Structure 1
Amino acid sequence: MTTPATSADTFTADWQDWHRRQEENLADPHGFLSVTGLHWLTAAPQRFADAPGEWSTGPDGVVVVLGEGEKLLIDGSPVPGTHRFGIIPERSGINAVWGPAVIEVAARGGHDIVRPRHPDNPLRTGFRGTPAYAPDPKWVVTGRYTAFARPRPTTVGAAVEGLEHVYDAPGEIEFGLDGRTLRLTAFPGKAPGHLSVLFTDATSGVTTYAANRVLQLPPPGPDGTVTLDFNRAVNLPCAYTDLATCPLPPAENRLPVAIEAGEKIPYERG
């Protein structure tokens, strides 16, 4: 027979398994903690200490010119001395392998960037986990998703000053918390039909990271019902490093209540 105690134990165990996977992904040898530089490409070729070759960008996209003895692999195959990556779509990227490192070539906020990832980066090797609130079923709430007549282009700021991101917001979520009716603009999630919510709340800058947290949501039900489990609110990479271009929440997603759930300020920012 299931009792409240066993149900609570299962809830906690499920959250612990989820959080362990989050930590493993973050601490991956080529995860965000391994990033050593954020290099903005221009038409003038540039060399960087943490990547091989000379890098530039132009109307036809990113180009790298490798010198004698320099080698990059893409999809397991070596590239020639000059390699043209072409035009990289916004929020997409290509990974090239350089010895134990991965050189990420990406487009963010209308700019082409090179972001090397080295497994021996001290931020990664010294990672000791992310503090978080103890999981509590209180913070699992039911909301109602309403799709917009058509996706709304929504411009938001970024962790990098002067940079902007544009997302096509498909709809909004209404839910109740502490006797208040709240709404959040939703962005597309990581898989078709899924949703992503960027937000801040009254804990931001106090116990949780000031700029943003994110909550990934499953597809809404046929009647628009969606579950928001704030215990699974996580930090974005900019909570750990200044070498990230993370988006900031739209103004309407700054909640006037304290969401005492999910991940807290990383030790690295303490």
Structure 2
Amino acid sequence: MPSKTLDQWRQARHAELAGPDSWLGLVGLFWLEDAISKVGSGDNCVVRLPSGPAHLGDLLCRDGEVFWQPAGGEARPLATDRDGQPSTVDHENLSFFIVDRDGRFAARVRDRAWAMRQPFAGIEHFPEDPAWVVDAEWLPLAPPVSMEVPNVTGELKPVTVAFKAVFAVDGQKVELLPMAVGEREVFFVFRDRTSGRETYGAGRFLKAKPAVDGRIRLDFNRAFNPPCAFTPFATCPLPPPENWLPFAVPAGERKWQGAH
């Protein structure tokens, strides 16, 4: 399948952020600390919904799994986001699903009608610049490097890195360490001298196709804001110090001008 053009990529990105399942529709993130967590709009609920019945049901944590038991109904297991698409529980315009962060569970609540109140106006981009399509060397690390990567909540996630991307900008040689390497894509998190000024302060994400013959193409025109740029109810990895680039990367998405 041919790659999307940059315009097509931007259009798909806009559609994703403007849609009912956008990060912009999140209205809550609630950690499940007990075996039984009440869900509803009542003051005694662990998972507080902005509307609906005072007690919609309960989330049950048993032996590393989460079950949903609607008020007066039977319990059913919920798939978390650990292995892919999570199960959702819907009530009118609201829905929630379970995220798994190294064995800690949380319910993430979404208002799927959010755009009716404030439609997404889009994100500004730097002008496309072919100079920021970089063909980097993809070099093995021997031995692999183990790192603890913090997210915006301050939690640390262990990451093992077996390769690095190496390239030069204006004669300055730099390296980027991937946060994940899969069969279909390689995922990076980086900061640069635009971070906090023209782009999101915590850094940006970049995805690349897997390396071929020891080289990997990094198209910084497709650098994009992490979910945490749009909502306080996301948990995003932060770039390790090795991925703090010592120069500006005026390519890709700029800072989102909305507020949360």
The bucket for the TM-score relative to the shorter chain is 0.7 to 0.9
| 1:91/1:133 CA distance change after superposition, 3 Å | farther
Confirm whether residue 183 of structure 1 aligns to residue 182 of structure 2: no
| 1:255/1:30 CA distance change after superposition, 3 Å | same
Matches within 5 A, 1:1-150: 14-43=5-34, 44-47=36-39, 48-50=47-49, 52-68=56-72, 81-85=74-78, 88=80, 90=82, 92=84, 94-98=86-90, 99-121=92-114, 125-149=118-142
Q: Please state how far the C-alpha of 1:46 moved relative to its aligned partner.
A: 2.9
RMSD over aligned CA atoms reads: 2.5
Q: Is the 2:135–2:217 contact (alpha carbons within 8 Å) kept by the matching residues of 1?
A: yes
Match of 2:43 in 1: none
For 1:113 and 1:105, the matched residues in 2 are separated by: 6
Q: Please state how far the C-alpha of 1:147 moved relative to its aligned partner.
A: 2.6
Match of 1:77 in 2: none
Q: Please state how far the C-alpha of 1:132 moved relative to its aligned partner.
A: 1.1
For 2:210 and 2:158, the matched residues in 1 are separated by: 22
Paired amino acid for 2:106: I
Deviates more, 1:28-37 or 1:90-99: 90-99
Match of 1:254 in 2: 244
For 2:169 and 2:215, the matched residues in 1 are separated by: 16
Match of 1:155 in 2: 148
Q: Deviations over 1:125-176 (max 9, x none)?
A: 431111110111111111001133465443111112x322233323111001
Gapped regions of structure 1 (runs ≥ 5): 1-12, 69-79
Paired amino acid for 2:166: E
What secondary structure is seen at the aligned counterpart in 2 of 1:20?
A: helix
Match of 2:42 in 1: none
Aligned-pair identity in percent equals: 29
| 1:269/1:200 CA distance change after superposition, 3 Å | farther
What secondary structure is seen at the aligned counterpart in 1 of 2:7?
A: helix
Confirm whether residue 243 of structure 1 aligns to residue 236 of structure 2: no
Match of 2:159 in 1: 167
For 2:255 and 2:102, the matched residues in 1 are separated by: 25
Match of 1:217 in 2: 208
Instruction: Give me the TM-score of the superposition, normalised by structure 1.
Output: 0.81
Q: Is the 1:217–1:226 contact (alpha carbons within 8 Å) kept by the matching residues of 2?
A: yes
Instruction: Give me the TM-score of the superposition, normalised by structure 2.
Output: 0.84
Q: Please state how far the C-alpha of 1:100 moved relative to its aligned partner.
A: 4.0
| 1:133/1:114 CA distance change after superposition, 3 Å | same
